[in-house]
Amino acid sequence: MWGFGIRNEFKEFIPVFKLLPFSMSAFFGMTKYNLSWDLKDNDYANKAYKDQKLSTDATSYTARLLVSKSIPVLTVYGGLGYNSNSSDYKLKGHYQYANSPLPPYQMVDPFNLSYTSTGFVANAGFRVKLAVFMLFADYTYANTSMYTAGMGFTFR
């Protein structure tokens, strides 16, 4: 898994925006995930076939315009943007199915599932910072909406 992101608070470059009492920034990020599992070491695999493999590939892009306001212990934020996600799940190789009243038969690459999701996204949330502890919550509205919450700590 690897990825990158870049965020820039562009408000300082536009004279009129400097007067606004909140922060504005733009964000772009990309994540790529690849996993391959060789099934020949599994108890369920047929040892006669050496090409059995399960693989997952996923790629995600996101771009957002973010707005936030911070006071000493509280930061409130919101964002609007666009997401694009794609995932592929594959069961590759040769497989023999013999546990049925039918005669045994062989399958090649029996499973291939692809999923794509694109669209606009909006999110809103807050973070409370108390000494070294932080609490946060976020709601994201998209094709698949979600709530997230957590707790963390920092020290320097």
Q: Of 58, 59, 62, 60, which Cα lies nearest the Cα of 121?
A: 62
pLDDT in tens, 57-79: 999 999 999 999 999 899 999 99
- Decide: pTM greater than 0.95: no
pLDDT for 43: 62
Residue ranges per domain, the chain?
A: 2-153
CATH 2.40.160 fits 2-153, yes or no: yes
Q: Of 63, 77, 89, 100, which Cα lies nearest the Cα of 22?
A: 77
As a whole number, mean pLDDT of residues 81-110 equals 83
